[in-house]
Each structure stands twice: as C-alpha cells, then as structure tokens.
Amino acid sequence: MFKKSHLRFWMALMIIAVYVYIRVSFTINNSKNVRIYRRVDTRDWENCSIPFLDSKPMSIRQHYSVNFPYTCRNLIYKTLNDNDMKILSSFRKNYPRIKRRDSDFIELSKDCSKLKSLGYIEDEISDEELNFPLAFNMIVHFNAEQVERQLRALWRPHNIFCIHVDKSSPKVFHDAIRGISSCFNNVFVIDPSIDVVYAGFSRLLADIKCMELLLKSTTNWKYLMNTAGTAFPRMTNYEMVQVLNIYNGANDVEGLFDRPIRSRFEDEWIEVIEDNKSFLKKTGKKNPPPPDGTKIVRGSAYAIFSRNFVHYIINDEKSIRLLEWSRKTWSPDEHYWATLHHLYANPHLHTPGGYRGIPQKKPWLAVFAGWSGEYNCKGKWLRGVCVFSVSDLSAIMLKQHFFVNKFDVQFDAYALDCFEAWIMAKSYCRPKFSLDYYKTLPFIIE
C-alpha cells in the first residue's frame, strides 16, 4: 500500500521542484530575452519594437501564459481609468511577483556572464558618449534588485561608479552588492563603509568618500551625479551626455535661500546610539556661525556636479572648513552642496560652475520627486514624497529631469518594470530628443 505519508512527501517534493524551476527559468529566460536587443539606426521610435516595452511587465511574465491585457507601452501612454486600476489590482493579488532576493544576486554574480546578460549595454555606444564619461555615486542600504536594475540602466563600460552600502545593512545585502561590483572593473564599493544615520553628517560623508575615490580614478569623467537606491534614470546615457554638453561646466544644484530652517544649523545636533539604534539628537547647545562669513543655502542632497566642482569640494580650504562646521548640523547634505554652489549668497567662494542668480528662481533638474502639496500622487506617500505607481508613469516621463525618485517594487512592480522598459527602449531606438529647453536654462555656461 502507498502510505499517505509517502504521498505527502512526494507532493511536497514536487512543489519545491516547481518553485526552483520557476526561479531558475525566470533568470535564464530574461537573460535570453534581453540579448535580442538591437539598436535601430533609423531612430523610428513609433515602429521600434523592443522586448519588454511591447510585452507584459516583467513581473507578469514570471507567470507563464497569463492573459494580461496590457503591454508596458499601453501602461505608459494610456490614461488608466478606474476599471483599469481594478484589473491591475486583481492581477497583483492573483499573480504576485516572484521576489528577487539579495542572495539571488550573490549566486548570479558567481558567473558574471549571466549577470551581464541581464541587459548591460557594452557596445554600440556613440563617440559622443565615449568622449564624455560620467561618474555616479549610489548611496544604498537595501534591496539589491533595485540597486542592480538602476546600475544596469546607467552602466556603460567607459563610465565609473561608486557604491556606498550602509554599514548597518544586512550582511547578505553587502555580499550581494560586492558580488555585483566584482563583475565590473568600473564599479567600486566603499570599504570600510559608514554607519549612515538619517539626517546625520554620516549621510553627507558617504557621498564625500565616493567623490574622493572617483577623483583618484584614472577615468577622466566630466560630470558626477549622486543618486539613491530608490531612484531611476529618466534620461538615457546618450541624452544625459547631450544635456551636460550644453551645461558646459555648470553645476545643477537646488537652492532655497529665502526659506532657511535655522534650527537645522544654528542648533547643535549629534549622532548617538541608544538601545542599538542610531539617530540624531539635539544637544541644547548652539553651533558657532558658519566659517568665512558664509551664508547657508538650503537644497537637495542630490545634484549634478562638474568635475571641477567635485575637485573644489574635496580640496578647497573654504569648502573643507564648511564641511567640518557642518558635522553637528541637521541633514547637512541638504545645505552643503547648495551653500557652496549658490554664489548669489556667497560670492566670496568662487565655486567652479557656481550660479550667481537668485537660487529659488533657478530650475533644478537633477531629480524629480513628487512632493506632497506639489504633485498629484497616484501611488502612495512616504515621508511626504510620492512612491510612484504605474498610473504616475505618463506624467513623470514628460519631466525634463535626469532622475525620478521614488520607486518600490514591493509596492508597484509594474511601475518600475515599465519605466525600465521605456528607458531601455530609448537606449536602443533613440527617439528624437529636443534640446531646446535645456539651451534656455539660465545657469548654463556659454
């Protein structure tokens, strides 16, 4: 007699086998699919058929033979109504995405050819791009899948990358990022890393460490951009290079001089550890005035830096004194770049690529974020910033920014799937890209 215990054993074994088959097939099939990309020299965007853009979102393609009624091209260009949203919600519930764990990237990076076959662009790069290498700081602390997907969208063999992984991140995440970086000779990981405290000086220091590393590299990069793990490029590498050539050495840094939050820098803040938790604490003391008569300008942690500006940040005595003074301020990454860059407030700094106009009247194009009160978010709010859903794509693709932030594959995988497909399609098909807006920017250097 065939015992019930035997039956349960074999059923469990079959379930495990099916699960393993799906995970392995998902990686292999996606690798094969990506490799059929070919650049279209005619630049015929309307007729450019690219896998993923003209098929179902990647998270749906994990579930074979599912009759999903949309392609990514539909989801990007279509105005989604209530019925569409109900359909998408039903598919998310009934066909949840198969999560790529951090440990999956440790295994994948053991064979670099498999990792690279996910879609890294290694050839068919224009001379304009080759002559204008870019540098990127990636400040990350979780979700190796999103970090790898952002790196893949940005990666070109002549660019250079520095990744800082929060020291307090899990070991498996550290190992995953190191595994990924080991497959490329132009991707570096900061070692030792810093324990980054939210709004603390350590967050700014992570960027500084990467800047120091990148300046010492042999790559003659022209511009540096810093980015978060939840962001994604809105421009292709080719488009970035075209715009940055127009910038001609100018930096792109946000500035808010008319609305200072004085408690952030007049009060003293220090990073402390209590109950195994790191956080910023007000001491009750006051900071001395900023050095060299410098006036504080508020801005974003993310910016576009000319190489000369990065050299100035790391080596100029005034910038070094301002950095040291910022050590006991709240969120110094949101005033340090802006204060150095905006010469309207601080003409004595003579910053390379700095801006002499009124800070708050200057467009800032480093990254678009949907802030509460300014943006009609279709996704969800996280600390006052929109986490994009697929319904946001038609709006954010029309922006003029280099990056958009935030995506979360755990919240809406279709959003990142299709935005990524759109960027990859543009990378290979190169639709017409107007530079007229960028030529009128008030901060470019003639």
Tell me the C-alpha distance between 291 and 354, whole Å. 19
Most distant pair of Cα atoms in the chain: their distance:
91
DSSP 8-state assignment for residue 107: H
Q: How far is CA 201 from CA 44, 209, 272, in A?
A: 48, 12, 12
Of the candidates 145, 148, 271, 334, the residue annotated as catalytic is 334
Tokens of 7: 């039956």
State yes or no: is 334 an active-site residue. yes
Structural contact between residues 126 and 238, judged by C-beta atoms closer than 8 angstroms: yes
Structural contact between residues 335 and 370, judged by C-beta atoms closer than 8 angstroms: no
128: three-class secondary structure by DSSP? helix
Structural contact between residues 270 and 281, judged by C-beta atoms closer than 8 angstroms: yes
Question: What angle (nearest 5°) sits at the alpha carbon of residue 64, between those of residues 119 and 10?
Answer: 115
Tell me the C-alpha distance between 316 and 338, whole Å. 16
What is the sign, positive or negative, of the torsion defined by CA atoms of 85, 88, 93, 98? negative
Residues belonging to the active site? 334
